[in-house]
């Protein structure tokens, strides 16, 4: 399968790396941590890249900008959950 435009973006590649690291860390937590903070931080980290991809997939500048802002919100949410995890 050939790569789409979002897969070539450095910010998307970084979002994948962040999400992969969070998944690896979360998989080692105990049950309570996984089902509370772990679940939230994984979902928010995965949303960063997902929203970038969705915005570019919509095909308009306005939608790309809108979903980029949503992606930034997911990044900030991830930062919050990582602070809680510490």
pLDDT, residue 4, reads 72
Q: What is the pLDDT of residues 6-16, one digit of tens each?
A: 899 999 999 99
Q: Which residues of the chain fall below pLDDT 70?
A: 1-3
**Side-chain-facing half-sphere of 59: CA atoms under 13 Å:** 0
Domain ranges (residues) in the chain: 5-85
pLDDT, residue 2, reads 60
- Say which CATH topology domain 5-85 has: de novo design (two linked rop proteins) (1.20.1440)
pLDDT, residue 18, reads 97
pTM (2 decimals)?
0.90
- Burial (CB count <10 Å: 0-12, 13-18, 19+), residue 8: exposed
Q: What are the structure tokens assigned to 42, written together? A: 């994984």
């Amino acid at each position: 399968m050939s790569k789409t435009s979002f897969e070539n973006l450095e910010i998307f590649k970084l979002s994948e790396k962040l999400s992969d690291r969070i998944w690896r860390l979360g998989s080692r937590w105990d049950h309570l941590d996984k089902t509370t903070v772990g679940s939230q931080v994984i979902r928010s980290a995965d949303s960063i890249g997902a929203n970038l991809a969705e915005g570019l997939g919509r095909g308009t500048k306005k939608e790309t900008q809108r979903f980029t802002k949503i992606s930034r919100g997911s990044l900030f949410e991830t930062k919050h959950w990582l602070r809680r995890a510490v």
